[in-house]
Amino acid sequence: MGEIVKRDHLSRIIDTIEEGVIVFDANGQAVFANSSAEIILGLKRKTIIGQSYSDPALKFAGKNGEALPEMELPFARVITGRPVLNEEFVAKRPDGAKVVLSVKAVPFHDETGAVVNVIQSFMDVTGRKTTELLLEESEERYYRLAEYLPDMIAIHSDWRFVYINPTGARMLGARKPQDIVGKPVLRYIHPDYRGATKERILLAQQGVAVGMVEEKYLLPDGRLIEVESISIPTIYRGRTSIQVVSRDITERKRTEAQLKRAKDLSDALNRINAAINSTLNFDAIMQRVVNESAKALGSETAGIALREEGYWVTRYVYGLPNIAVGSKIREEEAVITRIAIETGKPVPVDDIYTDERVNHKMMEKHGIRAFMVVPIILRGEAIGALSFNYYRAVTFTDEQIDFAGKLAMAISLALENSRLYTTERNIANTLQEALLILPSEVEGIDIDHFYHSATDTFRVGGDFYDLFELEHDRVGIVIGDVSGKGLQAATLTSLVKNTIKAYAYENSSPALIVSKTNDVTTKSSPAASFITLFFGILDIGSGRLSYCSAGHLPPIVKRSGAGSAFLITRSPIIGAFAGLNYFDDVEVLAPKDILVLYTDGTTEARRDQEFFGEERLRDTVQKTVLPSAKGFPASIFNNIIEFTGGRLLDDLAILAVSLKG
């Protein structure tokens, strides 16, 4: 089994080499051929395998195309002990084309020394032979043709040029070929590429053609050009030489580099957009912009200055010491910044010494030779300017200027989002704080409550609670959860709370009050909104609690004696459909009994995939030893924090009420 695996592995390796390989058995029958053999001979592998070395498909002719006797074929020669090493033969492909092959054939012996296989490898050297034949037939005709080719055709021998066409002479900075002939080849090779060029010349001197490579030529006037070159061993006027064909790709490489720079800037802009849109904090946006954009444009330093009382004041920097923050310049002195603000476009300065608009002394003080100023506009008003600074003269490209313009728009959009978010957050926070206010004291009962928001981005959640006094020593108790977050959730919460409170002064049935609240909410709220809600009316004197639970989690009653239980009677949610039926139920609270109400962020708090859950919550309530509602919500929250390891994914609210003894 191991030998099979080894043979298979070897076959895979042989199948990847450029040389054609055919393996014959001792009788001259082909037993293996690689993919290169298929390509060179124009035969399918299944056609090659099984053929004899002397069959027409595999029978080679002599190097001049003459028929060979069977004993002069590579296989027969190896069997009779005559080596075949890099000899030329001609093969005829099925399409009639003839290819010149450089052939090697070696025997493979078994342990007794008997030949069991002959390995025949070959390379297609038709191109090389065509070139040689062309030169042999008519060197003059070939070189007359080369006079008009758009690529450089050059021949060198003993490391010096012996021929170059006019295109090549012009490429190397000469007026005519005679100015190049006799000059050392390496004189025109950029130092970074001379080592590789020497290696290629040495290979070519050994008869090895070298395929396409990229290199740089250094001209006498200091200019650099980028070229693609191939090196081919040849004979020139009877001497072993090397022919080089080179194509000037300087413009192509310049275009490729330009496209790459444009792509790099586009990618950088996408990264900056993602970075600044991942936060709504003004300072964080500005600092990320200056850091990322300076890196993208390759500037040594950068800074954002904000307009403050007639000055441009530096507030965010890159590549500058922190002491630069707070430095300022009068608006009238910042000429380029004023132009950027007036035009609303980036203003580049390639070299301060060639631009009369620039305050040279101020720039020299900071070592700045070139810079670009980008205006930052918010709602039509210039609030700042971003400056990219260089210690050397530069030529700003169209791609860089376009990047800066798009960057300015991205900054404006991000800052506008930040402004809108801040406004909405302030409004919603004010609403949220108003919605969570409970009376500090109600005669006859103890009250305590706790609210926690899971995120800072939306501190305003949909969880809410309320407790208000009614006539005849009664109190209304509310807890609920509105779908969604932010301003919309806070507005809907306000509607629900105020509607319940209004109807509670007219009716004594929680179910009827919740039903009317549902009708109002359904008409007033978006279609996708809904609310879970518990509303109860507690008679402080008797302890009678009538309640309606509209899709909300069941409250828990902890008895002063022992035990605790859920209030299980439930009704539909509100805000989704009008005209639903809601149900009342009654529970009696004894003095010091504690009623615990909560939202789903409490039971759905998790540790890995495990929820805190209703049963664990009831056990927590049961085990909490406190004489009244005071401190109860905070105690439950601490248990949840311990369970989750401090990680909460949702908002939660807890409200506790108990009768005084």
Dump pLDDT digits (tens) for 159-208.
999 999 999 999 999 999 999 999 999 999 999 999 999 998 898 888 88
Answer with the residue of higher pLDDT: 264 or 98: 98
* Residue percentage of the chain with pLDDT more than 70: 91
Q: Identify the residue whose tokens are 């910042």.
A: 334
Q: Tell me which of 212-226, 262-276, 533-547, 567-581 is least confident.
A: 262-276
Q: What token pair was written down for 566?
A: 């859920």
Query: What are the residues facing 655 on neighbouring strands?
Result: 449, 597
Q: What token pair was written down for 397?
A: 């490209």
pLDDT of residue 551: 93
Answer with the residue of higher pLDDT: 143 or 242: 242
Pairing of strands 98-109, 115-124: antiparallel
Position 31 pLDDT exceeds 90: yes
Q: Tell me which of 97-101, 264-268, 316-320, 371-375 is least confident.
A: 264-268
pLDDT of residue 457: 47
Its sign, for the CA torsion 455, 459, 463, 466, is positive
Distance CA 153, CA 165 (A): 6
Phi, psi of 244 (to 5 degrees): -120, 130
Mean pLDDT score, 219-230: 92
pLDDT band with cut points at 50, 70 and 90 for residue 458? very low
Answer with the residue of higher pLDDT: 276 or 396: 396
Pairing of strands 115-124, 20-25: antiparallel
Going from the C-alpha of 413 to that of each of 136, 418, 427, the distances in angstroms are 72, 9, 21
Long-range interactions of 307-312: CB distance < 8 A, separation 24+: 307/331, 307/382, 307/383, 307/384, 312/337, 312/385
C-beta separation of 53 from 72 below 8 A:
no
Mean pLDDT score, 548-568: 92
pLDDT of residue 260: 83
Q: Identify the residue whose tokens are 């070929």.
A: 177
Strand boundaries in 471-613, DSSP class E? 474-482, 531-539, 544-550, 556-558, 564-566, 585-588, 594-598, 606-607, 610-611
CA 221 to the chain's CA centroid? 44
Position 263: which residue type?
K
Q: What is the pTM of this model?
A: 0.45
Position 1 pLDDT exceeds 60: no
Query: What are the residues facing 594 on neighbouring strands?
Result: 558, 658
Mean pLDDT score, 415-441: 69
Most confident region among 94-98, 250-254, 319-323, 510-514 by mean pLDDT: 510-514
Query: What are the residues facing 240 on neighbouring strands?
Result: 235
pLDDT in tens, 595-609: 999 999 999 999 988
Position 487 pLDDT exceeds 80: no
pLDDT of residue 605: 92
C-beta separation of 124 from 93 below 8 A:
no
Distance CA 478, CA 451 (A): 14
pLDDT band with cut points at 50, 70 and 90 for residue 377? confident
Mean pLDDT score, 50-72: 92
Phi, psi of 3 (to 5 degrees): -65, -40
pLDDT of residue 135: 54
Instruction: State the distance between the two ends of the chain, measured CA to CA, in whole angstroms.
Output: 89
Q: Identify the residue whose tokens are 């509209």.
A: 550
Provide the 3-class DSSP secondary structure of residue 173: coil
pLDDT of residue 511: 94
For the packed helices 510-524 and 486-504, what is the interaxial angle rounded to 10 degrees? 140
DSSP summary character for residue 479: E
For the chain, the average pLDDT equals 87
pLDDT in tens, 112-147: 889 999 999 999 998 877 766 655 555 666 667 777
DSSP-assigned states of every residue in 348-411: EES-GGG-TTS-HHHHHHTT-SEEEEEEEEETTEEEEEEEEEESS-----HHHHHHHHHHHHHH
pLDDT in tens, 570-582: 999 998 888 899 9
Query: What are the residues facing 469 on neighbouring strands?
Result: 475
DSSP-assigned states of every residue in 35-54: HHHHHHHT--HHHHTT-BTT
Provide the 3-class DSSP secondary structure of residue 476: strand
Mean pLDDT score, 547-575: 92
